[in-house]
């Protein structure tokens, strides 16, 4: 008996990267999404960074600045905070093709990645942690337990090393 890939089983069609619409021209010019470390090395100024100094410093301290951060749904608590704090004025959730999972070194966190105590794990280990049911099936949204599970799942992050090439981005405006 073979076990089916849960991303295939649950028909996952996209992962997401939130950004401000002001960043889309730069993303197009660079040919994709780049990690904060790569952008710094290329001396690229981000027109409207989603993160603040604290989050960039936390990413750098944990080595997370080496990754492009993706989420599982077009809803992430950090996007909400970035909008509330005025760093993002016009949010865009870029859709990233699930073939991104084939890139060597993709990692996972079960919470906001730079939060203290959050463990970065391999994609293989993540298959035991990801709540595919709450993310990708119809559930009773009135159930408080389901609501809590969804709130947690919306914090999940995929970490893609270095960059996400343009060929994986489906909806760059």
Would you say residue 4 has pLDDT above 90?
A: no
Kindly state the tokens that stand for 159: 């970490």
What's the pLDDT tens digit per position in 7-64?
Answer: 999 999 999 999 999 999 999 999 999 999 999 999 999 888 888 888 888 899 999 9
Please say whether the beta carbons of 25 and 77 come within 8 A. Answer: no
Residues 107-166 have pLDDT tens digits of 999 999 989 999 999 999 999 999 999 999 999 989 999 999 999 999 999 999 999 999
The full set of domain ranges for the chain reads 16-168
Question: Quick one: which H or E segment has residue 107?
Answer: strand 107-109
Distance CA 109, CA 164 (A): 18
36 vs 67: CA distance, rounded Å: 7
Q: Which token pair is 157?
A: 């992050």
Distance CA(82)–CA(168), nearest Å, equals 24
């Amino acid at each position: 008996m073979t076990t089916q890939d849960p991303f295939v089983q649950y028909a996952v069609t996209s992962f997401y990267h939130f950004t401000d619409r002001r960043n889309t021209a730069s993303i197009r010019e660079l040919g994709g999404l780049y990690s904060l470390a790569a952008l710094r090395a290329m001396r690229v100024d981000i027109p409207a960074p989603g993160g603040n100094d604290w989050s960039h410093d936390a990413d750098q301290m944990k080595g997370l600045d080496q990754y492009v951060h993706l989420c599982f749904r077009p809803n992430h608590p950090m996007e909400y905070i970035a909008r509330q704090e005025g760093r993002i004025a016009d949010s865009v959730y870029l859709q990233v093709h699930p073939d991104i999972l084939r890139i060597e070194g993709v990692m996972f966190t079960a919470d906001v990645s730079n939060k203290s105590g959050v463990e970065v794990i391999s994609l293989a280990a993540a298959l035991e942690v990801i709540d595919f049911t709450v993310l990708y099936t119809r559930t009773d949204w009135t159930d408080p337990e389901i609501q809590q599970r969804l709130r947690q799942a919306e914090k999940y992050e995929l970490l893609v090393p270095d960059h996400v090439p343009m060929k994986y981005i489906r909806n760059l405006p």
